[in-house]
Amino acid sequence: MTQVKMTVNGKAATGEVEGRTLLVQFLRENLGMTGTHVGCDTSQCGACVVHVNGEAVKSCSMLAVEAQGAEVATIEGQAAPDGTLNTIQQAFQDHHGLQCGFCTPGMVMSAAALLKENPKPTEADVRHYLDGNICRCTGYHNIVKAIMAASGQDVGTIAAE
Amino acid sequence: MPKDSGIGASSKRREDIRFLTGEGNYTDDINVNGQAHVYFLRSDIAHGTLNSVDTSAADGMEGVVKIFTGADFEAVGSVPCGWQVTDKHGEPMQEPRHPVLAHGKVRHVGEPIAAVVAETLEQARDAAEAIVLDISELPAVVNMKDAVKEGATKVHDDLTSNLCYDWGFVEENKGAVDEAFSNAAHVTTLELTNNRLVANPMEPRVAVGDFARGTGDHTLYTTSQNPHVIRLLMGAFVLGIPEHKLRVVAPDVGGGFGTKIFHYQEEAFVTFAAKACNRAVKWTSSRSEAFMSDAHGRDHVTKIELALDKDHNFMALRTDTYANMGAYLSTFAPSVPTWLHGTLMAGNYKTPLIYVNVKAVFTNTVPVDAYRGAGRPEATYQLERLVDKAAHELGVDPIKLRRQNFVTEFPYATPVAVEYDTGDYVATMDKLEEMADIAGFKKRREASEAKGKLRGFGVNCYIEACGIAPSNLVGQLGARAGLFESCTVRVNATGGLVVMTGSHSHGQGHETSFAQVVADMIGIDEGMVEIVHGDTANTPMGMGTYGSRSLAVGGSAMVKATEKIIAKATKIASHLLEASESDVELKDGAFTVAGTDKSVAWGDVTLAAYVPHNYPLEEIEPGLEETAFYDPSNFTYPSGAYACEVEIDPETGQVTVERFSAADDFGNIVNPMIVTGQVHGGLAQGIGQALLENCAYDADGQLLSASYMDYAMPRASDLPFYDVDHSCQTPCTHNPLGVKGCGEAGAIGSPPAVVNAVLDAMRSAGKDVGHIDMPVSPNRVWEAMQG
**Which domains can be identified in chain B, with CATH numbers?**
16-22+484-630 (3.30.365.10), 31-138+202-255+260-293 (3.90.1170.50), 296-468+634-786 (3.30.365.10)
Round to whole Å and give the CA distance between B147 and B300.
14
**Angle (CA) B299 B305 B308, round 5°:** 150
Strand order in the sheet with A71-73: A11-17, A2-8, A71-73, A49-52, A55-58
Residue B715 to residue A130, Cβ atoms within 8 A: yes
Round to whole Å and give the CA distance between B377 and B687.
12
With CA atoms as reference, report the closest residue to B656 among B715, B707, B696, B723: B715
Among B202, B682, B714, the residue with its CB nearest the CB of A47 is B202
Round to whole Å and give the CA distance between B731 and B738.
5
Round to whole Å and give the CA distance between B670 and B558.
14
Round to whole Å and give the CA distance between B756 and B774.
11
User: Does residue B710 sit at the A interface (CB-CB below 8 Å)?
Assistant: no
Using DSSP bridges, classify how beta strands B217-222 and B454-463 pair: parallel, antiparallel or unpaired: unpaired
With CA atoms as reference, report the closest residue to B509 among A12, A147, A93, A151: A93
CATH of domain A2-77: 3.10.20.30
Strand ranges inside B439-553, DSSP E: 454-463, 485-491, 497-501, 529-532
**Angle (CA) A92 A96 A98, round 5°:** 70
Residue A105 to residue B16, Cβ atoms within 8 A: no
Among B21, B26, B714, the residue with its CB nearest the CB of A102 is B26
CA nearest to B199 within chain A: A136
User: Does residue B691 sit at the A interface (CB-CB below 8 Å)?
Assistant: no
Question: Among A28, A107, A131, A136, which would you mutate to test the B interface (most chain B Cβ atoms within 10 Å of its Cβ)?
Answer: A136
* Residues B737/B156, Cβ–Cβ less than 8 Å: no
Phi, psi of B518 (to 5 degrees): -65, -45
Round to whole Å and give the CA distance between B696 and B293.
14
With CA atoms as reference, report the closest residue to B753 among B787, B722, B707: B722
The distance of Cα B402 from the centroid of its chain, to the nearest Å, equals: 27
Write down the pLDDT at residue A157. Answer: 82
Round to whole Å and give the CA distance between B713 and B717.
11
Write down the pLDDT at residue A160. Answer: 45
* Residues B765/B389, Cβ–Cβ less than 8 Å: no
Round to whole Å and give the CA distance between B592 and B586.
7
Under DSSP, is residue B528 helix (H, G, I), strand (E, B) or coil? Answer: helix
* Residue A161 confidence (pLDDT) above 90: no
Residue B723 to residue A160, Cβ atoms within 8 A: yes
Q: How far is CA B96 from CA A43, B327, B362, B473, in A?
A: 38, 9, 10, 25
Under DSSP, is residue B523 helix (H, G, I), strand (E, B) or coil? Answer: coil
Cβ-Cβ contacts under 8 Å between A and B: the total is 199
Strand order in the sheet with B454-463: B454-463, B639-649, B654-665, B723-725
With CA atoms as reference, report the closest residue to B275 among B534, B97, B36: B36
Round to whole Å and give the CA distance between B627 and B568.
13
Under DSSP, is residue B311 helix (H, G, I), strand (E, B) or coil? Answer: coil
B35 vs A contacts (CB less than 8 Å): none
**DSSP one-letter string for B202-239:** SSPPEEEEEEETTTTEEEEEE--S-HHHHHHIIIIIII
Identify residue B756 by its one-letter amino acid code.
N
* Residues B353/B430, Cβ–Cβ less than 8 Å: no
Round to whole Å and give the CA distance between B402 and B400.
5
Round to whole Å and give the CA distance between A42 and B711.
12
**DSSP one-letter string for B670-721:** S-HHHHHHHHHHHHHHHHHHHHT----B-TT--BS--STTTS----GGG---
Residue B681 to residue A137, Cβ atoms within 8 A: yes
A89 vs B contacts (CB less than 8 Å): 20-21
A135 vs B contacts (CB less than 8 Å): 202, 716
User: Does residue B22 sit at the A interface (CB-CB below 8 Å)?
Assistant: yes
Q: What single DSSP character describes residue B555?
A: H
Q: Give me the helices (H) in B477-616, please.
A: 510-522, 555-577, 602-610
With CA atoms as reference, report the closest residue to B514 among B489, B491, B541: B489
Round to whole Å and give the CA distance between B594 and B586.
10
Round to whole Å and give the CA distance between B260 and B274.
22
With CA atoms as reference, report the closest residue to B305 among B405, B171, B165, B182: B182
Among A41, A105, A124, the residue with its CB nearest the CB of B287 is A41
Q: What's chain A's Rg over C-alpha atoms? A: 16
Using DSSP bridges, classify how beta strands A71-73 and A49-52 pair: parallel, antiparallel or unpaired: antiparallel
Residue B202 to residue A39, Cβ atoms within 8 A: yes
Write down the pLDDT at residue B3. Answer: 83
* Residues B107/B327, Cβ–Cβ less than 8 Å: yes
Round to whole Å and give the CA distance between B132 and B549.
46
Write down the pLDDT at residue B115. Answer: 98
With CA atoms as reference, report the closest residue to B35 among B219, B217, B279, B247: B279
Round to whole Å and give the CA distance between B380 and B744.
12
Low-confidence residues in chain B, pLDDT < 70:
1-2
Question: Among A100, A148, A155, which would you mutate to test the B interface (most chain B Cβ atoms within 10 Å of its Cβ)?
Answer: A100
User: Does residue B122 sit at the A interface (CB-CB below 8 Å)?
Assistant: yes
Q: What's chain B's Rg over C-alpha atoms? A: 27
Provide the pLDDT confidence category of residue A159 given band limits of 50, 70 and 90: low
Round to whole Å and give the CA distance between B327 and B308.
39
Phi, psi of B193 (to 5 degrees): -115, 135
Q: Find all residues with CB under 8 Å of B782, minimum gap 6, and list them.
A: B652, B653
Chain B stretch 660-689, residues whose beta carbon is closer than 8 A to a beta carbon of chain A = 672-674, 676-677, 680-685
Under DSSP, is residue A2 helix (H, G, I), strand (E, B) or coil? Answer: strand
Round to whole Å and give the CA distance between B787 and B767.
9
ipTM above 0.95, yes or no: yes
* Residues B118/B63, Cβ–Cβ less than 8 Å: yes
Write down the pLDDT at residue B787. Answer: 77
Domain A87-150 - what CATH class?
Answer: mainly alpha
pTM strictly above 0.90: yes
Q: How many residues does chain A have?
A: 161
Round to whole Å and give the CA distance between B712 and B123.
33
The distance of Cα A123 from the centroid of its chain, to the nearest Å, equals: 19
* Residues B61/B127, Cβ–Cβ less than 8 Å: yes
Round to whole Å and give the CA distance between B502 and B558.
10
Identify residue B682 by its one-letter amino acid code.
G
Residues of chain A with CATH 1.10.150.120: 87-150
Under DSSP, is residue B69 helix (H, G, I), strand (E, B) or coil? Answer: strand
Write down the pLDDT at residue B353. Answer: 98
Measured in angstroms, the CA of A68 and the nearest CA of chain B are apart by 23
Measured in angstroms, the CA of A160 and the nearest CA of chain B are apart by 6
Q: How far is CA B268 from CA A85, B120, B199, B248, B566, in A?
A: 40, 20, 22, 11, 42
* Residue A29 confidence (pLDDT) above 60: yes
Write down the pLDDT at residue B281. Answer: 98
Residue A160 to residue B683, Cβ atoms within 8 A: no
Give pLDDT tens digits for B56-102: 999 999 999 999 999 999 999 999 999 999 999 999 999 999 999 99
Q: How many residues does chain B have?
A: 787
* Residues B485/B556, Cβ–Cβ less than 8 Å: yes
